[in-house]
Amino acid sequence: MKIAVIGTGYVGLVSGVGFAELGHDVTCVDVDAPRIAALRRGEIPIHERGLPELLARNVRAGRLTFSLSTAEAVAGARAVFIAVGTPSAPDGTADLRAVLGAAADIGRAIDGFTVVVTKSTVPVGTWVQLHAAMSPLTTHDFDIVSNPEFLKEGAAIDDFMKPDRVVIGSVGSKAIEIMRELYEPFVRTGNPIITMDNTSAEMTKYAANALLATRISFMNEIANLCERTGADVDQVRRGIGYDRRIGHHFLFPGVGYGGSCFPKDVRAVITTAREHGMEFPLMAAVEDVNEAQKHRLVLKVVDEFGANLRGKHFAIWGLTFKPRTDDMREAPSITVVEGLLKRGGTVAVHDPEALHEAKKLFGDRVSYHRVNYEALAGADALLIVTEWNEFRRPDFARMRQLMRQPIILDGRNLYEPEVMREHGFAYLPIGRTPVRVPTA
């Protein structure tokens, strides 16, 4: 099948590569000319495990091409996927300009019956707007399918190729048939393709992200309560996770959620509710708790060192909103770094993949280190913000030698407090009893 994918970000690129891998003829489109030029040279603009190999293979086989022209990509395509960004507007609503712009370009370009699929996360009812935007621009038939994407950055290829479920929202039987043909090879192990109406499909994506964000904020509040009561959140997490009604996922407390999805989708749920005459206090609380949690590490620093951090130097390990990606959109690390700088501290940062992104945000206000140990030189404390695997078993003796003071504020609970005591560190985790006075 000839397919066009509009938008070559995390979702568009992974989807385009995934469909090409199954033998389809895919053109990926973007308005960002340097991005398309880079992709044509074989350079991948994002960090995603497995993507470079799959992309190169499908380009070589002639199944995957890149274009700046929606018209060129859409001509002759039976399915066109919209995978452009839907960031928050200043009032918290989802900014649909890219989606509606892409829909208009598609409307002008279709040359026969076309299935127009929204993979972008869009507010409930957007499919009606898309229909209205495209209808005046074409005489050809088209169906709008709402096909939310559930992939996780860091495991995006795996999630796309082996989804837990595929949600197809459409009222058109021809469109559903084409979508089934496209997705059936991805669910051969029996995971379901769930068909429903467009509105419910759009709501499904928000409900999923809102629930996951709620679990994170809930556990962060439990962790904060553990700190006050002397309970150990890691024990509590395990104690509740074995309950099958609860499960283990998304029960890890930390420095708050970030990324390109949860924050904006939580805000969009709140504004969608408001637009329909309803307050959604639970979601507002989830967001408030998350905002507060992003400041927790800096508040702990202030407890240790005082509000004026002049003359104090801090190392940060991990800048991305989660490991195995280079995405720093709304990452808690931004709040942490800015909080330290604002109070007069100096900051040295390390991240395995995101230093190029960090430079765009922090410029020359911090120092950048490719090697995690190098960021520690002369540090009064290390703050761990992202749980990259390579931070789990570091050389603690080497760390102590490099640092001015052996203090670790761990926003991801990577280590056992007792082990840290043995290594001679003051150790401040989230929701667990801190080690305050090093014995060694």
Q: Which amino acid is located at 160 in the chain?
A: F
Shortest reach from residue 119's CB to ligand NAD, in Å: 6
**Of 97 and 342, which has the nearer Cβ to ligand NAD?**
97
**Of 88 and 433, which has the nearer Cβ to ligand NAD?**
88
Shortest reach from residue 122's CB to ligand NAD, in Å: 7
Shortest reach from residue 29's CB to ligand NAD, in Å: 5
Shortest reach from residue 222's CB to ligand NAD, in Å: 26
Shortest reach from residue 325's CB to ligand NAD, in Å: 8
**Of 380 and 387, which has the nearer Cβ to ligand NAD?**
387
Residue 28 annotated in active site: no
Ranked by CB distance to ligand NAD, the top (closest) residue is: 9
**Of 122 and 375, which has the nearer Cβ to ligand NAD?**
122
**Of 44 and 222, which has the nearer Cβ to ligand NAD?**
44
Q: Which of 261, 376, 379, 384 is catalytic?
A: 261
With contact defined as beta carbons under 8 Å apart, do 209 and 261 qualify? yes
**Of 156 and 383, which has the nearer Cβ to ligand NAD?**
156
The residues that touch ligand NAD, with contacts defined as CB under 6 A, are 6-12, 29-32, 35, 83-86, 98, 101-102, 119-121, 149, 151, 153, 260-261
Shortest reach from residue 62's CB to ligand NAD, in Å: 22
With contact defined as beta carbons under 8 Å apart, do 294 and 335 qualify? yes
By annotation, the residues acting in catalysis are 261
